[in-house]
Structure 1
Amino acid sequence: MRLNYEKPSLSRLAQELRRRLVWSISSMEGNFAFGVPELNVCRREAIHLELAQSDECFQHGFLYHNRLDLFGLAIKLRQAREDIMIFSPSISLRTSAELIAATADMERNLAEIDGLLRDEDRYWASRLCRAANQTQLLTVNMALNQNYCDLLRLFLAGYQEAASDTMLAELDPEFLSTRAERAVQYAYSNIAMAEDFTRQYSHLQLYDLDVAVCLYHAAQIVAFVTGPQGTPQAIIQVNQCLHFFKVFYPLSKTAQPMVRDLERLARKLYSNPTRPHLNDRIETDTHDPSELAVAGSTVPKLSIHSLLRQADFPDADHHETSPQTENTVEDEVITGVDEENDPDFSFDPWMGWQGSLDPFGYLQLSDLY
C-alpha cells in the first residue's frame, strides 16, 4: 500500500486520510517503545508525508488556508521528545561542551514549536471552556512543558537521567542552578494545569496516556529538586498528581505502574523527608545479574509506562535458554507487570477525527491506495 509516501494522483481527501492514518499510528507507537529506535516499527525516517492539515481545514473541504493545529503540534512534540530520549543515553560518551551544544540545539527546536502555538491554543483556565477540544489542548501544552523538563533534567546532579557528576562538575554552578529552577517551574506548571483541569472537567474521559506520563515525571522532578526543605510542598504536589490519576485513570492497567511508583514516593517523603531522591527505584530490582546479562539491555531502556515493558515479553534467546522465574513484588512495582490481568491498551484520541469520518460522502478503503 505504501501509505508512508505521498501520492498526488489521489483526491485531496484520500491524501489527507493517508497522512492522518500514518501519523496516528506513529504517535500511538510511542505508548510501546518510545525513545528506543530498535523497537520502533513505524519509524519517523520512513514516513515521507506532510503533516496532517488542521481539523478546521479538513472538516470544511480544504477551503481554508492550512495551518499547523494541535494535531500537527502534537506530532512535532513527539518527534522532539523522541530525539531527546534517543540522545539521553549517549551523554556519557560526550564532553560537557558537546552536551551543552546539543541541548541548546534541541531547546531551540522546542522554542520554534512553542512559537507555532496560537494564542488560543495556549492553556489558560479562563479560555479552556471555549476550546474545541479541551483534552487535546491540555495534552499538547503539558507535552511542551515535559519536553523542556526532559532536557533540563539532564543537568540535575544525582537525578536518574542526568549526566554524570564528573561531567556536571565541569559546568558553571549558576548555569546548573538556573536549569534546575526552570525544570521545577515547568513541572509545577504541569501539575497546576492538571489540578485546574480536574476541578473543571472531571466528567471528561482521558484516553491518552501522555498526560499521565507528563504528570508522573513532573511529580518526580518536584520531589527531587525541592529537597528536604521543600518536602511538605512536594507531598502536596505528589498527592495532587495521585488524585488526577484516580479521577481520570481509575481502571487503567497502563497507568497503574506510575500510580504505584508515586504512592511509594509519597510514603518515602512522609517517612524519610531528608532523602527524597528517586534512584532507589532502580536499586530495588532483584533480578539475578546473570539473568539481566542474558536478557540484554533493551528492556531497561523502556520507561515505566511502556506497554512493552508492562507486557514483560521475554527476550527470544532468553526464553529458549532460561527457565521461567516468578516476579517478586518489587519487580512488579518496577516493571508494572500484573500477572493476573493483561494490560489494557489505551486508545489515543489523536487517532480519531472530530465529526464525520467522511464529510464528502462514502469513501472506499481502496481509494487510499
Structure 2
Amino acid sequence: MTTSPRPQKRTTNTCVTCRARKVRCDGRREICSNCERLGFSCSYDENVGVEMVSGEGNGMSISVPRRRVRQACQNCHARKARCSGSMPSCDRCRAQGLECVYRPGKRSLPLPPPVAIPSSTSAAGVAAAAAPGTANSPAMSSHDDGQPGQAVPNDYGASASSTTSPGSAAVDNTDPDEALALKAFDNFFRHVHHIAMFSFLHRPSLMERYHAGSLDRALLLAIIGITSLLTDLGPGMDAYGSRCIEDAVTMCLADLERPSIPRLQALVLAIKHRILSKRFSSAFMLHAIASRFAIALRLNHENPDLCFLAREARRRLMWTIYMIDSSIAAGQPEFALWADAERQIHLQLPCNERNFDFDLPEPTEPLRFPGPGPGGVVPPLPDVLGLMALHIRLHWMRNRILECTSRAVASPSQDALALLPGQCSELATELEAFEARLPASFRGCEANFRLRSYSPRLGIFVMTHVWWRQCHLDLYRIFLPGLKEALPPAALQQLDLHYVMNRRRTCYEHAKAMADMFSQLLTLGNKTPVADLDLPACAFQCTKILYHGVQMAEGAELGLTQERVQELANVCLRAARQSTPGPASAAIQSDIERLISNGLQLPETPASLQLSRARGPSITPGSEMPYLVEQIPDTDQMQGISHTPPAVQMPTLPPTTLSPMTALNMPVADPQVAAAVPPAPPSQTSAMTGASNAFEETADGFIFGPEMFGVDSWPALSHGWTNMTQFPGTTI
C-alpha cells in the first residue's frame, strides 16, 4: 500500500504583508520572496499592519504597512478611536499628550521601561529641565499650594517628575476630535455655562462658527480644558484638559499684539481653570493681561456699531473680568484693577438668559440699582435682569463691604469707630433693598428651590442667595472676637455692648440660614449642580462662624449646640464635595474637615464682651465719648432677617449730613452713573454668520498706539516703564 506524500508544513513565520494578502510566505528573513518580487515592504512585527488601497485598474496596491492592531490602548478604546498600536505610546496619545496605557493580556507585548522626559516651560514652550531656583522647581512650589518640597504641575498639569512624551513641549497643532469637541460643548452648556462667571458664551453663535471651521482654536481648547475639569469627559481627560489649557494660554500670549474677543474669552476660561486648579499666582498674573486685553478692545464701553448679541457678549465678558477682579482683590484696593467699577465700566448690566439666547434686545440697568422713589418705595426688579446681573451687584456690594471692614480692622481709631455703625447700617440697608426688589419667583424659599430642582439654572439661583447671606457674614464678622477678620478686643470694648451683641447674633442667624440652604440643596433628589469655587469658600466661612457661635452666649440662644453645629458643618462639607471638583475645592474641604475634627480655637474673650458677664457701660447719645454714634434700633432682632416687606423704607439723612461712606472715599449714589444706551443696530449678514452673531467684531479692526492713551508718542510714558526689567521678588 502506497502512502501519499506528507503535505508540506505551512510555516508559522509569516510576514504581515503576506498574511494580509492571504498568500503563502516562505518566511525568509529581511524580506520574503513574495514581497521581494512584488516590491512590497516586508515586516515580521506583529504590531505593524498593512493598508490596502484601490489602485489603477482592477489591481490592488499596498501602501505603508498598517492594519487594525490586536489591542488598542485604554484611551483610544474608551473613545472608540482608531489606535495605531505603536509602543510605548500610540500616535493619538502622543499627539494629544496623553498617557498611553495598554491593558495587559496574552496577546500584548511587554512594554519597555518609561523614559523620563524633562518638563517644559510655559512661557516659551521649549523642553528644558527645571533648574533649582526656577519657577518650576520644587523649591518654589509652595507659592500656590502651600506645600513646599512637592513637585509643581508643569505646563500640562503633570508633575515635573512624571513621564511626558517627547512631543509635549511644543503646542500641539492637531485639532481635537469632533466627537470630543461636541461632547465638551454639550457638557459645557448643560452644566458649566449657567455659572455666573461662565455665561459669556452664546451657544448658537459658537456652534455656527465651529461647524463653519472658523472657531478660534484657543477658545476651543479652553472650553475642552475647563469642561474636563468640572465635568466627566471620560478617562484620562483631566490631563488632556490641562494640556489644552496650557496650549490655549500659549497661543493667547503669543498674540499679545493682536487681541481679539475669542482670545480674551479663552484667556478668561484659562484663568478660571488656574483658580480651580489652585494655581493662584498664575491666575493673578493672567488676570492682569486679560484686563489689558479688555481695555485694548474697549470692552468697558458700549459699542453702538455692533449688533445686540455682540454687544451683550462683550458686556458679559467684561463683567466676568470684573467679578474675577473682585474675588482676587477681596476689598484690598491695591490688588484691584477695577476698584471703581461705577466709573471704570461704562456698561449696563447683562440681560436675562432668554433675551441673550433668542436675540431680544432690551435695555437693563446700571450697576447701582435706582434709589427709592416718592414715599421711599424701592422700584421692583425689572424682568429683563437675570441672575448674572444679580451676581454682579452682589460682588460689587461685597467688595464695598470688605473694603469698609478691612479698613476698620486695620486702623481702629476713635474716628473710624465712630463712623463704623453708620457705615454698617448703610451697607445693610443696601442688602435689604436688594432682597426686597426680588420678585416672588426669585425669593430664596423652599418652594422656589423645589421648582428649580431639575432646572439647569438651579446652581446660579442657589448661589445668588448664598452670596447674599455671605455679604452679611462679611459685614458682621468684625464683631466676632477672636477671628482674624474681627476688630481687636480693645476696639470692640469701645462700642456699645448691646449693638455688638445684636450684630453678632445677626451674623450667626445668617450662617445658620446658609447651612439650611445647603441642606435643602442636598435633599432635592437630583444631582447637585456644578458650582464655582464660591460655594466651597462660602461653606467654609459658614462653618467657621457656626463653630464660633458655639463658644458665645448669643449662639446658644439660637440653639447652636456642639451637636447641631457639627451636623450643619457636615452639610456644608457635603455640599462643597458634591458641587465643585478640583484641587482648590479639595483644599477647602480639608479645612472644613479640620474644623469638624478639631473645632475652632479662639483666644480667651474679654469678660466685658460676654453676654452672661459684666455688661459694661451702656452708651447713650450725648455721652462724653465722641467716637461712639447714636445706635440704630435693631430691627433684625424684632422682625427677623427673613422678613421681606413689599417695599423698603430707605433711611434719609439731613441735607447737610455727609454719608458715612464718604470718610472711606467710597463711591456713593451718583445720579449720572451711566448714560442711556442707544438701541442696537441691525446686524449685517455675512457668508459665515447669520443676521446676528455674538462674535461680530468692529469693522475698523484693532488699532493700538499712542493715540489710545491720548499721547503723541511712546516716550511720554517712559517714566518708570523703561527701567522695569524684572518683577521684584515679593511674595503675593
The answer, yes or no, to whether TM exceeds 0.5 is yes
Counterpart pick for 2:590 among 219, 243, 260: 260
Aligned partner of residue 523 in structure 2, secondary structure: helix
**Residue 102 of structure 1 aligns to which amino acid in structure 2?**
Q
Structure 2 residue 344 is the aligned partner of structure 1 residue 46:
yes
**Residue 161 of structure 1 aligns to which amino acid in structure 2?**
E
Per the alignment, residue 25 of structure 1 pairs with 321
Per the alignment, residue 565 of structure 2 pairs with 234
Per the alignment, residue 289 of structure 1 pairs with none
Distance in 2 (CA, whole Å) between partners of 1:121 and 1:360 is 33
Per the alignment, residue 59 of structure 1 pairs with 357
Counterpart pick for 2:438 among 98, 102, 117: 117
Structure 2 residue 299 is the aligned partner of structure 1 residue 3:
yes
The equivalences for 1:349-364 within 5 A come to 361-364=692-695
Per the alignment, residue 82 of structure 1 pairs with 399
Higher helix share: 1
**Residue 50 of structure 1 aligns to which amino acid in structure 2?**
Q
The change in CA–CA distance for 1:364 and 1:72 in structure 2 (over 3 A counts) is: closer
**Residue 22 of structure 1 aligns to which amino acid in structure 2?**
M
Distance in 1 (CA, whole Å) between partners of 2:396 and 2:447 is 30
Aligned partner of residue 277 in structure 1, secondary structure: coil
Structure 2 residue 460 is the aligned partner of structure 1 residue 136:
yes
Per the alignment, residue 366 of structure 1 pairs with 697
Aligned partner of residue 524 in structure 2, secondary structure: helix
The equivalences for 1:300-319 within 5 A come to none
Distance in 2 (CA, whole Å) between partners of 1:99 and 1:277 is 27
Distance in 2 (CA, whole Å) between partners of 1:77 and 1:24 is 13
The change in CA–CA distance for 1:214 and 1:364 in structure 2 (over 3 A counts) is: closer
Structure 2 residue 627 is the aligned partner of structure 1 residue 277:
no
Counterpart pick for 1:245 among 559, 576, 579: 576
Of structures 1 and 2, the one with the larger relative CO (CA 8 A, separation 6+) is 1
Deviation at 1:200, TM superposition (A): 1.5
Kindly report the root-mean-square deviation, in angstroms, between the aligned alpha carbons of the 2 structures: 2.6
Deviation at 1:226, TM superposition (A): 2.4
Structure 2 residue 429 is the aligned partner of structure 1 residue 108:
yes
Distance in 2 (CA, whole Å) between partners of 1:26 and 1:64 is 22
Distance in 2 (CA, whole Å) between partners of 1:50 and 1:198 is 35
Deviation at 1:363, TM superposition (A): 4.4
Distance in 1 (CA, whole Å) between partners of 2:390 and 2:574 is 28
Unpaired segments ≥5 residues, structure 2: 1-296, 365-381, 605-688, 702-732
Deviation at 1:65, TM superposition (A): 7.2
Distance in 1 (CA, whole Å) between partners of 2:698 and 2:481 is 54
Per the alignment, residue 35 of structure 1 pairs with 331
**Residue 244 of structure 1 aligns to which amino acid in structure 2?**
A
Aligned partner of residue 126 in structure 1, secondary structure: helix
Deviations 1:330-364 (A, max 9, x none): xxxxxxxxxxxxxxxxxxxxxxxxxxxx9964444
Unpaired segments ≥5 residues, structure 1: 270-275, 281-357
Distance in 2 (CA, whole Å) between partners of 1:215 and 1:17 is 31
The change in CA–CA distance for 1:247 and 1:364 in structure 2 (over 3 A counts) is: closer
The change in CA–CA distance for 1:155 and 1:207 in structure 2 (over 3 A counts) is: same
The change in CA–CA distance for 1:164 and 1:87 in structure 2 (over 3 A counts) is: same
Deviation at 1:85, TM superposition (A): 1.7
Instruction: Judge conservation of contact 1:187–1:218 (CA < 8 Å) in 2.
Output: yes
The change in CA–CA distance for 1:363 and 1:65 in structure 2 (over 3 A counts) is: closer
The change in CA–CA distance for 1:366 and 1:219 in structure 2 (over 3 A counts) is: same
The change in CA–CA distance for 1:24 and 1:367 in structure 2 (over 3 A counts) is: same
**Residue 75 of structure 1 aligns to which amino acid in structure 2?**
I
Per the alignment, residue 331 of structure 1 pairs with none
The change in CA–CA distance for 1:162 and 1:364 in structure 2 (over 3 A counts) is: closer
Distance in 2 (CA, whole Å) between partners of 1:279 and 1:18 is 49
Q: Which has the larger radius of gyration?
A: 2
The change in CA–CA distance for 1:202 and 1:226 in structure 2 (over 3 A counts) is: farther
Over the matched positions of the two proteins, sequence identity in percent amounts to: 23
Per the alignment, residue 194 of structure 1 pairs with 518
Structure 2 residue 402 is the aligned partner of structure 1 residue 72:
no
**Residue 298 of structure 2 aligns to which amino acid in structure 1?**
R
Counterpart pick for 1:217 among 524, 527, 541: 541
Instruction: Judge conservation of contact 2:573–2:592 (CA < 8 Å) in 1.
Output: yes
Which one is further off, 180-189 or 43-52?
43-52
Distance in 2 (CA, whole Å) between partners of 1:49 and 1:223 is 42
Instruction: Judge conservation of contact 1:202–1:248 (CA < 8 Å) in 2.
Output: no
Aligned partner of residue 200 in structure 1, secondary structure: coil
Deviation at 1:5, TM superposition (A): 0.9
Q: What is the count of residue pairs matched by the alignment? A: 285
Distance in 2 (CA, whole Å) between partners of 1:245 and 1:278 is 25
Distance in 1 (CA, whole Å) between partners of 2:474 and 2:603 is 16
